[in-house]
Amino acid sequence: MEKPTQNRGSNPPRIDASDPLPGWREPSGRWATPFQTQLNGGMVWTVALRLGHRLSTREALAGCASQLYAETPEALVVLTRAHDQLVETVRNLPLTWSGTSPAVPDDDREEDA
């Protein structure tokens, strides 16, 4: 018995190495895919920022994290939303050095006697 063959024609489609995979799209959002890991002898859920979404120094000093840990996936979702809101708040704050520096004293001031 012969195996049925598919007729693909003389020019089958070619996928180049630089072409995206069919049905695949560039991920969106700040956070990568969550996964389980071991921490202090127990299993926890964790998620990290994507490579293109690094924290600025200002965001890090405000307490934003690039890696989050939680006991459950639901708690991790709540934590990521809270951090997204914190980052948005920090980004909307005025720069701290604009108009807050003390006045430079004049050299022509009188000396105390």
Distances (CA, A) of 91 to 8, 30, 60, 86, 95: 54, 15, 12, 9, 9
Q: Is 75 within a domain?
A: yes
Range among 16-20, 26-30, 46-50, 107-111 with highest mean pLDDT value: 46-50
pTM for this model (two decimals): 0.60
Distances (CA, A) of 56 to 39, 61, 62, 96: 26, 9, 10, 15
Q: Is 104 within a domain?
A: no
Asked whether the predicted pLDDT for residue 56 surpasses 70, the reply is yes
Q: Is 77 within a domain?
A: yes
Mean pLDDT of 33-58: 90
Q: Is 98 within a domain?
A: no
Listed range (24-28, 48-52, 86-90) with the worst mean pLDDT:
24-28
Q: Is 23 within a domain?
A: no
Q: Is 74 within a domain?
A: yes
